[in-house]
Structure 1
Amino acid sequence: MLPFTNIFRFQRTLQNPVRILIRNWHRDPIPVAWEKPRIGWTKLNFDGSCKGREGKASIGGVFRNHKAEFVLGYAESIGRTSSTIAEVAALRRGLELVVENGWNNVWLEGDAKSLVEIIVKGRQVKCAEMRRHVGDINLILPELGNCIVTHVYREGNRAADKMAQIGHQLKKPKIWWHIPPEDVLSIVHEDAEGVGFLLFFKQDGCFIHCPGIFLAG
């Protein structure tokens, strides 16, 4: 049972829900959809997952070509660590696969905005393990012919997120070639068709996706 203080707090936030909804959703909705890479490019969407603050973590990623076809996917359980380390470990593993397969024109995309800024802007990090991962990433990036690093909201990173969730169930690292896991297949098809989501901005800085979907032009 919730303490009385919490009950009263919930009552205050839930009063006049329609009025709150109209007041907070004052900005235009943001359309979010997965985007195909250009011809000759390979796109990696990566993600990390962590259960709890320093809980069981896993990583995952999906490579697709300019036709939005699934090329390769990976997932792995990485033990107990933070969500930030899981995100950077997912990117590092993806880059290792890029090098192994000799891909040069690569688009890297994840939903961890802080990590993308660390890589793109060269921001310093205090955590020793984080510095090690970032250092390895910075050694790999110059080896690529062309590389783009971007942030996308979670709704545009669903395939990688699902791969990371699958990683929790694995006892050893796994790679899929050409045919993704069943749980990822439907997402890959929706992304290829341009299915997207509308995100509405709220005053508290959060986003809520609209139950409706749209087809990206």
Structure 2
Amino acid sequence: MAPYVKINFDGSVTNQMAAGGFVIRNWKSEPILAGARNMVSVSINVPEALALREALIWATRRGWNHVEVDGDSKLGIDALRGFCDVPWNLRSIIEAIRWCVGFSHDIKWRHIFKKANFVVNVIASVGFKKKELCIWDACIPTEANMAFIFDCNGSRCIRGFSL
């Protein structure tokens, strides 16, 4: 069986500014790629969907085609799984995500609660300080190190891949 990578994604909106971020981890929960960017949006659904799209683009570029996606965007996950209609402001982004998914051999979608997504929430907030997309290869931004350590020392360190 091919090893899975896990993508966590999140968005943040404050003072009519938005940012999004993602982290891709290997099966041992080690970060192998992270990204964050500043965006223009007042709806949380848009930066969350854009962060997921960016993560899937990078996964496709790297040839990671066995993917588990966790996110706290219930609307986004449900839209991608076909459980609800796609809102008009997300249609083009969801179409791009579906195009990226076409390169995956296997993809699993899972909605998680915000409290389980806190590491990538910190990474997304780093995006407020960036003018363009920033990528961290084989690591995460230093601002997220404490959250990552806390996550690994908690009950979730070897992330529960649902294989």
**Both structures adopt the same fold (TM-score exceeding 0.5):** yes
- Whole-angstrom CA distance in 2 between matches of 1:156 and 1:126: 25
Q: Tell me which residue corresponds to 1:74.
A: 35
The answer on whether the counterparts of 1:43 and 1:107 sit within 8 Å (CA) in structure 2 is yes
- Whole-angstrom CA distance in 2 between matches of 1:142 and 1:194: 35
Matched residue SS, 2:98 = helix
The one-letter code of the counterpart of 2:27 is H
Q: What is the correspondence of 1:189-204 to structure 2 with a 5 Å cutoff?
A: 189-195=149-155
- Choose the corresponding residue for 2:70, options 104, 109, 118: 109
Q: Tell me the CA shift for residue 39 of structure 1.
A: 7.2
Give per-residue Cα distances to partners, 1:109-147, cap 9 Å, x unaligned. Answer: 1011121111112522242x3100011111121210110
1:148 paired with 2:108, answer yes
Change over 3 Å in CA distance of 1:89–1:170 after alignment to 2: same
- Choose the corresponding residue for 1:180, options 123, 134, 140: 140
Matched residue SS, 1:186 = helix
Q: Tell me the CA shift for residue 66 of structure 1.
A: 1.1
- Choose the corresponding residue for 2:84, options 112, 118, 123: 123
The one-letter code of the counterpart of 1:91 is L
Change over 3 Å in CA distance of 1:39–1:125 after alignment to 2: closer
The answer on whether the counterparts of 1:39 and 1:66 sit within 8 Å (CA) in structure 2 is no
Change over 3 Å in CA distance of 1:142–1:122 after alignment to 2: farther
- Choose the corresponding residue for 2:11, options 30, 48, 53: 48
The answer on whether the counterparts of 2:19 and 2:124 sit within 8 Å (CA) in structure 1 is yes
The runs of 5 or more residues in structure 2 that have no matched partner are: none
Query: Number of aligned pairs?
Result: 158
The runs of 5 or more residues in structure 1 that have no matched partner are: 1-37, 197-215
> Higher relative CO (CA 8 A, sep ≥ 6), structure 1 or 2?
2
Q: Tell me which residue corresponds to 2:129.
A: 169
TM-score, structure 2 normalization: 0.88
The answer on whether the counterparts of 1:111 and 1:154 sit within 8 Å (CA) in structure 2 is yes
Question: What is the Cα-based RMSD across aligned positions, in Å?
Answer: 2.0
